Amino acid sequence: MKQSQMLIPTLKEIPADAEIKSHQLLVRAGYIRQIASGIYSFLPIGRRVLRKVEEVVRQEMEKIGAHEMMMSSLQPSELWKESGRWNTYGAELMRIDDRHEREFALGATHEEVVTSLIRDEVKSYKRLPLTVFQIQNKFRDEKRPRFGLLRGREFLMKDAYTFNESFESLDESYDKMFNAYTNIFRRLGLNFRAVIADSGQMGGKDTHEFMVLSEVGEDVIAYSDTSEYAANIEMAPVVTTYEKSTAALKNMEKVATPDQKTMQGVADFLGHGLEEGLKSIMFKVDDRFVMVVTRGDHEVNDVKLKNLYSADIVELASEEKTKELLGTGFGSLGPVDVPEEVEVVADLAVEMLVNVSCGANEEGYHYVNVTPERDFQVTQYADLRFIQEGDPSPDGQGLITFARGIEVGHVFKLGKFYAEKMNATYLDDQGKAQTMVMGSYGIGVSRTVAAIVEQYHDERGITWPANIAPFQVHLLSLNSKKEEQQQLADQLYDELIDAGIEVLYDDRKERAGVKFADSDLFGIPLRLTVGKRAGEGIVEMKERVTGNQSELEQSEILSVVSNWLKQ
């Protein structure tokens, strides 16, 4: 395609709102443009990349017998009410009314729609297992859309769904899907890991996330330094065994801690380590108010809290509500003498402590020499903290290390969660009605594009893997006023196209410097430059990633380029 006729608006300056490389480069190189917060248009070269990623995904889906379909984005609220998620999905679900004031959701995911379809259309065990997928825009009103394509409010997702007769059959479908994902992310050239994950809103059990390793990832992966174990930090159980302290018990005392609002401040003021203080945080768990107590050097893991209560929604209690319940704000909270409406739960480490400090539920005061059970009661001790680096790996092998990751894919065993709620049944070989067993599998296609750029760029621009680049070859004519340059470039362009090579031809009347800079920014793997030696039929070839250059005779160009692309 001719660059002079294509919409590729490049920018010299880094856009002010773009914090990370993929966002900066995709905007600067003219791949995407923002329309509103978290909402982007893909411009022509961006669309080409997106299609290539889609194509890899599509091929691997079809290889495992998944069939593509396309469901509607507009979804009647009735379906979401059947599953119960109309109430539990929260503010991320975009809701709209039609002219008859009927409520709809814009598809954030399609479990409800696909389950209603399959329950109506599939009646017999003979039709199972069944796998369908689609590649389609999803809508989620994210609280903090950011990082360009990484967290959008409208984004492209591949979502697949499996319907099985039994849990054993689901295991097989899941394994196939897992392998397909591994192939997809390998083919996309990504450095990734599959990690044990939380099932979040989806209600399932067994689940893995595919994480692209990257400093800008929002997720933290906890992995073993010696085994294959890897989990989202949200999910990694803490298997440390704590020893009960043998120190002699001292009497609890209230002491003034003027102006000390932080854990560290209080610990310093009282002259002890962080681990000798209790951290107390108020949560709203569905309709209850729960105080979660951990050791001062530990962090509360709200996913574990949510799972402990099988809750739909866990959030920090407001400071106002906290004051109403406990008579004081966040800086001075503690578990001693809390009112009945407040349930106290504590991390396992807390049970073993003696003579520690905690807030006195009075501004500017703390208790010291507090001992659990003697000085305060706990409804339940449970694993409620985040795993930390250096903790033993949950599989018993090695120690935990952290890495950051971008979640590009997620596979879940949903089990009967939706099928039961939505009454999706089939007749087994005895003619008896049975509930279907389901799985759900997502890939963030547009997010994956950004994740690729995070791993493939240098100081001059993007360095796409060849199979994902918008074009295979970038052909430049440096001076279109020179007849022989123009002619040779035109001729090469036709030859490359005839050979089935995807070529972008920079035929613009721009300075050579501008063309080179744009070319580096785009990241097309091979560049052919027709310049001064055009008269002799000599063209320069340069590899984008390595910077390796060579001069080629006109006659050998096609074969050299084709061979290079085949590798």
Contacting residues toward ligand ATP, per CB under 6 A? 109, 140, 142, 151-152, 155, 157, 200, 407-410, 442, 444, 446-447
What is the rounded CA–CA span in Å between residue 420 and residue 327?
45
* 121 contact partners, CB below 8 Å, separation of at least 6: none
Per partner kind, with CB cut-offs from 5 to 8 A, the member of ligand ATP, Mg ion, none near residue 461 is: none
Per partner kind, with CB cut-offs from 5 to 8 A, the member of ligand ATP, Mg ion, none near residue 118 is: none
Smallest distance from ligand ATP to CB 140, Å: 5
Per partner kind, with CB cut-offs from 5 to 8 A, the member of Mg ion, ligand ATP, none near residue 409 is: ligand ATP
Smallest distance from ligand ATP to CB 37, Å: 12
Whichever of 358 and 445 has its CB closer to ligand ATP, that residue is: 445
Smallest distance from Mg ion to CB 455, Å: 20
Please classify residue 141 by burial: count the beta carbons closer than 10 Å to its beta carbon, then call 0-12 exposed, 13-18 middle and 19+ buried. middle
* 275 contact partners, CB below 8 Å, separation of at least 6: 295, 296, 297
What is the rounded CA–CA span in Å between residue 139 and residue 153?
6
Whichever of 326 and 408 has its CB closer to ligand ATP, that residue is: 408
Smallest distance from ligand ATP to CB 392, Å: 27
Which residues does residue 487 pair with via DSSP β-bridges, in sequence order? Answer: none
Whichever of 125 and 185 has its CB closer to Mg ion, that residue is: 185
Whichever of 85 and 410 has its CB closer to Mg ion, that residue is: 410
Whichever of 34 and 355 has its CB closer to ligand ATP, that residue is: 34
Per partner kind, with CB cut-offs from 5 to 8 A, the member of Mg ion, ligand ATP, none near residue 523 is: none
* 410 lies in the binding site for Mg ion (CB under 5 A): yes
- Cβ atoms of residues 188 and 53 within 8 Å: yes
Stretch of 104-112, 406-414, 493-501, 529-537 lying at the interface with Mg ion (CB under 5 A): 406-414
Handedness of CA 146, 149, 155, 157 (dihedral sign): negative
SS3 label, residue 300: strand
* 447 lies in the binding site for Mg ion (CB under 5 A): no
* 376-378-381 Cα angle (round to 5): 135
Whichever of 304 and 410 has its CB closer to Mg ion, that residue is: 410
How many residues are given for the chain? 567
Pairing mode of beta strands 67-68, 130-139: parallel
Alpha carbons within 13 angstroms on the beta-carbon side of residue 383 total 16
* 110 lies in the binding site for Mg ion (CB under 5 A): no
Site size for Mg ion, by CB under 5 A?
1
What the block records as the tokens of 166 is 């039994």
Smallest distance from Mg ion to CB 441, Å: 11
Per partner kind, with CB cut-offs from 5 to 8 A, the member of ligand ATP, Mg ion, none near residue 155 is: ligand ATP
Per partner kind, with CB cut-offs from 5 to 8 A, the member of ligand ATP, Mg ion, none near residue 296 is: none
Whichever of 159 and 347 has its CB closer to ligand ATP, that residue is: 159
Q: Which residue is nearest to ligand ATP (CB)?
A: 444
Handedness of CA 329, 334, 336, 341 (dihedral sign): positive
What is the rounded CA–CA span in Å between residue 59 and residue 149?
23
Smallest distance from ligand ATP to CB 201, Å: 7
Closest CA to 530 of 493, 563, 497, 558: 493
Chain positions 232 to 291 lying near Mg ion, rule: CB under 5 A, are none
Per partner kind, with CB cut-offs from 5 to 8 A, the member of ligand ATP, Mg ion, none near residue 140 is: ligand ATP
Closest CA to 365 of 331, 342, 324: 331
- Cβ atoms of residues 219 and 408 within 8 Å: no
What the block records as the tokens of 361 is 């539920």
Whichever of 142 and 171 has its CB closer to ligand ATP, that residue is: 142
Per partner kind, with CB cut-offs from 5 to 8 A, the member of ligand ATP, Mg ion, none near residue 442 is: ligand ATP
Smallest distance from ligand ATP to CB 12, Å: 28
Whichever of 129 and 442 has its CB closer to ligand ATP, that residue is: 442
Main-chain dihedrals φ then ψ at residue 408, nearest 5 degrees: -105, -20
Whichever of 407 and 520 has its CB closer to Mg ion, that residue is: 407
398: left (phi over 0), alpha (psi -120 to 50) or beta: left
Stretch of 158-166, 410-418, 425-433, 491-499 lying at the interface with Mg ion (CB under 5 A): 410-418
State the first-to-last Cα distance of the chain, in angstroms, to the nearest integer: 24
Closest CA to 46 of 31, 33, 58: 31
Smallest distance from ligand ATP to CB 274, Å: 29
Q: Which positions touch Mg ion (CB under 5 A)?
A: 410
